[in-house]
Every structure is written in C-alpha cells, then in structure tokens.
Structure 1
C-alpha cells in the first residue's frame, strides 16, 4: 500500500466536498455533522422514509448507524441502502450494539442481507456477534476480550463478502484476502460519545473519493487517529470536553504532509 497515496486522499476529498448522507444515531448527529464539516465533507442527516431515496441518490456515500433504533428508521435505512446500491453509491454500515439485545442483533444481520454493504465498521464485540460469535458486550459498548481481532476481521469479511473494519486500541481492516493494522489514535477517543459513529462517516467520506476500498479505509482510519493524537497535545489532555473540541479543530487542520509524517500502518 502506497503511503503517499494514503496521505493525498484527504486533498481529493476536500476538493470534491463529498456529500455524505447519514441515517444515524440521534445521540451523535451533531458531532457527526460537525466532524464531517471540519474534515472538508458535506453532511446531510435526513431519515424520513419519504425522502431518503432521493437524498441518497444525490450523495456520494451513505452511512447507516443503528445506535438509536426504531421501526421507521430501519425502514428508511433499507430504502436508502437499496437506492445506494442501484446507483453504485458506497454504503458504510455501523451495527452499534449488535449483541446487546436479540432485536438489535436481528436488525443488524437483516441489514446485511437486504443491502450490499461496502464497509462494515464496528468494535470487536459487535462484529463477532454479527458472525455468530460471543465476544463480551455491555449495553451498546463492548470490550475487546474474546479472541484475535485480525482473524475475526478476515472471517467477517469472507462471510459477508465485504470490507470489514474492527476498531479499538489498534484498528484492523480486511477484505478477507489483504489485512492491515492501523496503529494511529488515542485512548481519549473512548471517552467521548460518538467517536466510532463519526469514524464510520469519515470512512464513507474517504471511500466516496478513493475507489480502492482498502486504501480509502486505511486513509480514513489513519487521518482520524493522527487528528486524535494531535488533539491530545494541543489542549485535549485537560479532559474529554477539551479533547472533543480540539479533535474537531485537528480534523480541520490536518493535511497530507502531517498524515505522511505520522502514518502508522502495516500489513498483517
């Protein structure tokens, strides 16, 4: 994988100003929109079933996030997902809390059956429950205990025939054949609500520009992680509140030179 190419995708994203349609967790809507704006993309957060197909058709990527579930939102997600599939628009699916309740797990698995998902992003417990394993989960948060994340990502990618991202202390990206480890990031991301949800949207923004899914996804993870590292050294060490604000600043301020200098990616 070409490190310089990874670093330069951000420039292409900002030049294009990709429209990213998010049907997402109500808890994180504002943070997700501000994060995408800071990065250089254009967010839209429509979820009424009467308009999601039209909105998706005008977007460059679709993000589906089941953090706050209800029947109407699930219907909207399916309609939007199918519209994206018809137009060849990439779909990122974030199965928030899969495994926490039988209903949530069923919805997440049904979504994979009904929609051709381009990238599936979750933590280890969520992805494990998607493929029928039983890693630890509590509420909609999850630990990383239970097994090897690299093997889990490969198995999930093969089972769903898609690109899988498992995020945590280190992020794993796999299409079932090639697998990469991204080591950029900071643990303070786990102290702010919606860090993972925003990351799913950022992945969508990057793959709307870069058609090589592995390269685009790795670039999104590295950019996000480096911004978090920089936020911690520029006021974020004061605590989660300061970190969240500075993180948005660093998503705005990061550039290809910074990414190339601090990139920590390896094939595994």
Structure 2
C-alpha cells in the first residue's frame, strides 16, 4: 500500500478511538492546542500540577511535553509525568521549543531526552541540532535551503536519541534513523500564527496513541496536518481567519483527501 493511503487510513481510527492526549504545554497555546485536538477527533487534557501529572499520564493514550513557556516547576512536572508514562507504556512526544536560545532551555531539553524514553521528538532543525549538540550550522529557524543536510541531521539525531525524529520546516522530515520520509505539505500562513507548531506536536501525539509504529504515526500526524493547512488556505488569506479555518479543516478533512493531497517521499 502506498504510504499516503497508509497514513490516511489512520484518521478514521483516530476519530473512532478518540484518544486521551495529556498535554503539558506552554501557556500561549493551551486553548488553540485543545481546540485543534478536539477538532481532529482526539480528547485533550491539560494537567500540570505535580500532584496529579503521574496519575493523568498513566491513563492517557499519549503524553505531549512542550517547553514553550519554560519554568523549573514545569520541567519537574514533565519529568514526573514522563516517568509515569514510560512505566505504563504510554508514548511520550517532546517539543523542545527554543532549544539553543538560552543555556537554560538547552540544558532542560537535554535533561528530558536523557531521563525519558521518547516515542517522537518534534522540532525545527535548529532545536533538534541543539538538543543533540550537533555542530551543524543553521541560518534561520527553518533552514529549509539545506534539505539534504536536514535529512542527515534528522537521521543522526534519531540514532543518537534512540527515538523517531520529526524535523519540520519548508519540507518536513520524519525518521528513526533507518526509514526516512520527506513530507511536502503545509502552507506559509502557518508561520503567521503562534502555536501552529505546538499544535502539530500534539497532533503527532494523538497519532502515536493509536499507532505503535511511531515513524508511521509521526508521518501521519505531520502529513494530515499539512493537508489541513493547505485546505484552510483555499478559503482565507489573513492570519486571524486562517487560525479558524485551520481548526475547521482539521475537523472536516477526510481520509480520501489526505490520500490524494499528501505528498510523501521516501528518502
């Protein structure tokens, strides 16, 4: 079966199972992330208190950790939740927002990848490079001009971290170090709205809750989100309207549309 049809077939499964996705995410994007997951068909919960994160993580279908608005207390909650998820076989998806921007962020991102077993780590090229201590030179946050280099960076990171790596930008790369896909979907308007990358990470989390082949799950999350982003752009041409259109597209996108519109290349 073509990869596009394989990943498209996961959407109705996700909507049928309505997986509980436990998000410890940043304050800027909480509402948008919750609404996006609901629109897609998942069931979001935002639980941060150290008194309950371990209990919530163990009953979730997936745990998503996002360090956008980083605090020491949040990191402590993430570690507690992540350990509980690991103990109970719940996949953990990590978004190292801003890794490399400050020493604190870089240190905390590296602590999470060292202390937790991750199903997927999703970030832009600069973030992933800084998490793994790669000397690869990056200009701008997307670094989309050096596509071959991004593929090699993703593969090295996946092998070093022992997890699936999703590097997103103009072209999105998903790899476990052996199997590698490049996804050519999405829209530039995504860069005009805060939280679109954070929501993408949570969408990937939703797919890991229903598909244990995490390369397939991450590819499905990235591609289906990119298809929804393209559909949303067909009707609007400004950021405020686009945010709503994206939620609507996540809600209305169908399996056959993903199969037809997704552009996935095996590397």
1:251 aligns to what? 250
Q: Distance in 1 between matches of 2:163 and 2:213?
A: 13
The alpha-carbon deviation at position 133 of structure 1 amounts to 2.6
Q: Over aligned residues, Cα RMSD in angstroms?
A: 1.3
The alpha-carbon deviation at position 4 of structure 1 amounts to 1.9
C-alpha distance 261-145 of structure 1, shift in aligned 2 (>3 A): closer
**For residues 92-241 of structure 1, what are the structure 2 equivalents within 5 Å?**
92-134=93-135, 135-136=137-138, 142-144=141-143, 148-235=149-236, 237=237, 239-241=238-240
Q: Distance in 2 between matches of 1:250 and 1:27?
A: 22
1:117-172 alpha-carbon deviations (Å, 9 max, x no partner):
1101000000111111354478xxx2416951000000000000100000001100
1:71-106 alpha-carbon deviations (Å, 9 max, x no partner):
111100000000000011000000000000001000
SS in 1 for 2:155: helix
Alpha carbons 1:136, 1:145 under 8 Å: kept: no
SS in 2 for 1:203: helix
Alpha carbons 1:136, 1:146 under 8 Å: kept: no
Q: Distance in 2 between matches of 1:172 and 1:118?
A: 15
Point out where structure 1 has 5 or more consecutive residues left out of the alignment: none
Query: How many equivalent pairs are there?
Result: 263
2:241 aligns to what? 242
- TM, length-normalised to structure 1: 0.95
- TM, length-normalised to structure 2: 0.96
**Structure 1 runs (4+) greater than 3 angstroms displaced:** 134-138
The alpha-carbon deviation at position 265 of structure 1 amounts to 0.3
2:34 aligns to what? 33
1:177-234 alpha-carbon deviations (Å, 9 max, x no partner):
1110000111110110001100000000011111111111111111100000010102
Q: Distance in 1 between matches of 2:109 and 2:54?
A: 20
Q: Distance in 1 between matches of 2:69 and 2:76?
A: 13
Q: Distance in 1 between matches of 2:144 and 2:23?
A: 30
